[in-house]
Amino acid sequence: MAAALVSSAVAGAAGATSLPPMHQTVDPDGVFFEGYGSAFYVPGQKLKDIRAYPIDGGHAVVIWLDEEDTQRFADLTGEMIGKPLAMWVCRHMVTRPIVRARIDSGTAIIPMPSAQRAQALVAAFRGEAECPDMTE
């Protein structure tokens, strides 16, 4: 599975945090990647694919980026080796792993606390539901 490529390239995570005021204009139905002055946003409708999976005894949402965003993500992770890269979803930081290597696969993993929350996030990205409460 492509997700294994990403999980081997990142380490560590932080709990969900509210989105800083400067990012509150970002639509909640996508993913915002941010680290040390570099950032980009991918709307949910632009994702190549998104699915919920059980991973390492927990749950996660795996996203696949299109060709353009795969290159942007690879460039960003290449610049961020050894540094934390925040992933914001539904206006909350859901993970902030340390980048271990440039990620060229175009795949990112968003850890989730439950299968139900992961499925709710997938539905939100697809425009089928509102963003789930990420603070619980």
Which residues, in sequence order, are CB contacts of 76 under 8 Å at separation 6+?
33, 35, 38, 39, 40, 85
Which residues form the domain of 48? 3-125
Quote the distance between the C-alpha of residue 131 and its chain's center.
14
Q: Determine the Cα–Cα distance for residues 69 and 123; give it in Å rounded to an integer.
A: 21
**Max Cα-Cα span within the chain:** 36
Each of the 136 residues of the chain gets a pLDDT tens digit; together they read 333 234 334 444 444 344 444 455 555 677 888 888 888 888 878 889 999 999 989 999 999 999 999 999 999 999 999 999 998 887 778 888 899 999 999 998 888 889 998 998 888 888 787 777 665 5
Q: Determine the Cα–Cα distance for residues 8 and 73; give it in Å rounded to an integer.
A: 16
pLDDT the model gives residue 22: 44
* Inside any domain, residue 105: yes
* The residue type at 105: S
By the 8 A CB rule, do 127 and 45 touch?
yes
By the 8 A CB rule, do 50 and 63 touch?
yes
- Per-residue HEC secondary structure of 49-114 comes to EEEEEEECCEEEEEEECCHHHHHHHHHHHHHCECCECEEEECCEEEECCEECCCCCCCEEEEEECC
* Inside any domain, residue 38: yes
CATH number (domain holding residue 71): 3.30.1360.200
* Inside any domain, residue 71: yes
- Tally of structural domains, the chain: 1
* Inside any domain, residue 94: yes
